[in-house]
Amino acid sequence: MIFTSLLETAWHALTTHRMRSFLTMLGMVIGVAAVILMLAIGQGAQVMVRGAIESMGSNLFIIMSGAVSSGGARVATGDAPSLTFDDADAIRELPDIVASAPVSPGGAQLIYGGVNWNTSVYGTTPDYAVVRNWSMASGSFFSDADVRRGARVAVIGAVVARELFGDEDPVGKIIRIKQAPFEVIGVLASKGQSLDGRDQDDTVLVPISSAQQKIFSNTLRNRARFIMVQAVSEKRMAAAETAINDLLRSRHRIGVGQDDDFTVRNLTALAETAASTTRIMSLLLGAIAAISLVVGGIGIMNIMLVSVTERTREIGIRMAIGARRRDVLWQFLIEALTLSLIGCGIGLLLGIGGAWLVGRLAGLPVAVTAASVLLAVGVSFLIGVFFGFYPARRAAGLDPIDALRSQ
């Protein structure tokens, strides 16, 4: 028997029972649509997290003043930071380190003309731009010379630029940070949200020396709340961490058995954790959707079994006039496959449409990938074969005489 005849026979059987075929397909439609939609949302979340990780900068350590013991944070708020600018410089000299920026963070009110804006201010060095992989939208970053002489210059984030200046070009303008006048020399390129949901563009960077003298009125000069460090590669991160620990312990004269007065954290590892969490969430969503696909497959098997019972006499007639067992097997298998693949097609359209709607209406990032489409089609095909085979084999195994006598 030729393949086109099989398709013709299957198509005829399905179109003579339109309502039943439609209802049977519905399970597959919903299953495939759910898989596509869930994977799209999961993929979207992964894309978002990956973007946040990239904007954070790669191969990052953050070294914080104070220790975190097994009992929890032990550092009191009033304590002076244990890290110094010299620590940051010494770390930069280590073999696996690219850049090392001491940071002194704080909040401050900015004023330009009649507008004011509260934001976070980071006193730091030019290495910070390297570490955070932060490029300029306009103007330039401050230099090491600016840091040495405590220059009153500031680099502002995209949000600050928009809030204070609107359409005006901020570069060259004077703003007041806690009353002290600073010249804006650059605007940072936009990065968007960080992993913890903060707007990274709502910030002002100034030389760390100027921040301590003019803004935070810090009495403890040359001390940094934390140091951000970039290693040469992900492979060298473990070695770099050990080297940093050894260096700081010897510089801070911490004896054997004594607790550290600093904490080194691998930010890249933390980010990887966040990424794998999203991946697991995405897998979970997909798995739940896949269950509905399997339920749809069982629906197909159910209807095919009913159909085989109903059409026993037809099967007997076909066998009497020369249908071989495998012709009957194929007839019902192709019917099940046609149902599942048409259901899959409709489900794909619904799923992609639904993903688009979710993206538009809920503002969630969604990404329908070729892989998820291929997965849905492949699984539908397998389900059609798997759940179609049992009823088909039942039909093919009928005895022609019994089948002819039925009804």
Using rule CB under 8 A, residue 319 touches other proteins: yes
**Cα 366 to Cα 388: distance, rounded to the nearest angstrom:** 33
**Cα 147 to Cα 185: distance, rounded to the nearest angstrom:** 14
Using rule CB under 8 A, residue 1 touches other proteins: yes
**Cα 171 to Cα 183: distance, rounded to the nearest angstrom:** 8
Using rule CB under 8 A, residue 321 touches other proteins: yes
Choose the stretch contacting other proteins; rule: CB under 8 A; options: 101-109, 116-124, 348-356, 396-404: 396-404
Q: Which listed residue (247, 314, 346, 365) binds other proteins by CB under 8 A?
A: 314
Choose the stretch contacting other proteins; rule: CB under 8 A; options: 220-228, 233-241, 260-268, 324-332: 324-332
Whichever of 11 and 107 has its CB closer to other proteins, that residue is 11
Q: Which listed residue (5, 116, 277, 309) binds other proteins by CB under 8 A?
A: 5
Whichever of 29 and 319 has its CB closer to other proteins, that residue is 319
What tokens does 105 get?
A: 């963070």
Min dist. Cβ of residue 13 to other proteins (A): 8
Residue found by looking up tokens 């949302």 in the block: 41
Using rule CB under 8 A, residue 19 touches other proteins: no
Using rule CB under 8 A, residue 318 touches other proteins: yes
Whichever of 80 and 320 has its CB closer to other proteins, that residue is 320
Using rule CB under 8 A, residue 401 touches other proteins: yes
Whichever of 37 and 323 has its CB closer to other proteins, that residue is 323
Choose the stretch contacting other proteins; rule: CB under 8 A; options: 5-13, 26-34, 52-60, 299-307: 5-13
Site for other proteins in 327-356 (CB under 8 A): 327
Quick check: helix, strand or coil at residue 349?
Answer: helix
Whichever of 77 and 407 has its CB closer to other proteins, that residue is 407
- The DSSP bridge pattern shows strands 97-112 and 136-139 to be unpaired
**Cα 190 to Cα 201: distance, rounded to the nearest angstrom:** 6
Q: Which listed residue (16, 70, 217, 219) binds other proteins by CB under 8 A?
A: 16
Choose the stretch contacting other proteins; rule: CB under 8 A; options: 177-185, 287-295, 317-325, 357-365: 317-325
Residue found by looking up tokens 């911490």 in the block: 254
Handedness of CA 288, 293, 294, 298 (dihedral sign): positive
Handedness of CA 114, 118, 119, 123 (dihedral sign): positive
How many Cα atoms occupy the beta-carbon half-sphere of 206 within 13 Å? 33
Residues sharing a CB contact under 8 Å with residue 70, sequence separation 6 or more, in sequence order: none
Whichever of 16 and 217 has its CB closer to other proteins, that residue is 16
Total binding residues for other proteins by CB under 8 A?
26
Contact 206, 123 (CB under 8 A): yes
Quick check: helix, strand or coil at residue 121?
Answer: strand
Q: Which listed residue (194, 393, 400, 406) binds other proteins by CB under 8 A?
A: 400
Using rule CB under 8 A, residue 2 touches other proteins: yes
**Cα 386 to Cα 86: distance, rounded to the nearest angstrom:** 68
Whichever of 300 and 328 has its CB closer to other proteins, that residue is 328
Min dist. Cβ of residue 299 to other proteins (A): 23
Min dist. Cβ of residue 1 to other proteins (A): 6
**Cα 227 to Cα 69: distance, rounded to the nearest angstrom:** 19
Contact 226, 62 (CB under 8 A): yes
Contact 13, 330 (CB under 8 A): no
Residues sharing a CB contact under 8 Å with residue 225, sequence separation 6 or more, in sequence order: 64, 65, 81, 83, 103, 104, 105
How many Cα atoms occupy the beta-carbon half-sphere of 101 within 13 Å? 26
Using rule CB under 8 A, residue 72 touches other proteins: no
Q: In the chain, what is the straight-line distance between the N-terminal and C-terminal CA atoms, in Å?
A: 27
Using rule CB under 8 A, residue 313 touches other proteins: yes
In 3-state terms the chain splits into helix, strand, coil percentages (rounded to 5) of 55, 20, 25
Q: Which listed residue (83, 154, 323, 395) binds other proteins by CB under 8 A?
A: 323
Min dist. Cβ of residue 290 to other proteins (A): 36
Min dist. Cβ of residue 401 to other proteins (A): 5
Handedness of CA 230, 234, 238, 239 (dihedral sign): negative
Using rule CB under 8 A, residue 317 touches other proteins: yes
Choose the stretch contacting other proteins; rule: CB under 8 A; options: 60-68, 128-136, 318-326, 386-394: 318-326
User: Given the rule CB under 8 A, which residues bind other proteins?
Assistant: 1-2, 4-5, 8-9, 12-13, 16, 313-314, 316-327, 400-401, 404
